Structure 1
Amino acid sequence: MLDDFQFRLHLLTYIQKHDGEWYWYQLDRALSATIGLNGRQLMKELDALRTAGLIKSQEVAGRSYYFITDEGRRVVAVSSKSQ
């Protein structure tokens, strides 16, 4: 089981990998298949990452696409160096 930090790092890494390509539903399907996350939990985590300035979203045709910010990239880079 992932703790909150590990999960958010996993989510950040996933968003970085698909930077701006995926919208909420695609993230939800991919993450629910890999770590058993439900949609409500995903929205809570995305909101927390957005509030922390680690990701941003852009609405396109009624869908929110997710992008990692420079600060989010820094967190991923620092965390991968320490592991």
Structure 2
Amino acid sequence: GEPTFEKSEVEDKIFTWPDLVFSEFICMVLLTVVMVVWSIALPAPLEEPANPAVAPNPSKAPWYFLGLQEMLVYFDPWMAGVVLPGLIILGL
């Protein structure tokens, strides 16, 4: 006879394990291998060792303060250092 409605519905489904999880795992492993090979193949742009007696000109802040330092060039210090960062924090 014909299969029941419930049986045909189960055959149409794809299960998360092992179908989806296994394919995502294979993609993750392949991407990791590509990133490792790429990082080994490309040379690292190393500069000379740091000299504490000489500061770079112009002196720059760490990357996480660089936006604030650049805003000081274009805006009033009160606006760039207090008001705009305060609005950003309040907006979060």
Q: Please report the TM-score for the alignment, with normalisation by the length of structure 2.
A: 0.25
Larger Rg: 2
Higher relative contact order, structure no. (Cα contacts within 8 Å, ≥ 6 residues apart):
1
Q: Please report the TM-score for the alignment, with normalisation by the length of structure 1.
A: 0.27
Larger relative strand fraction:
1
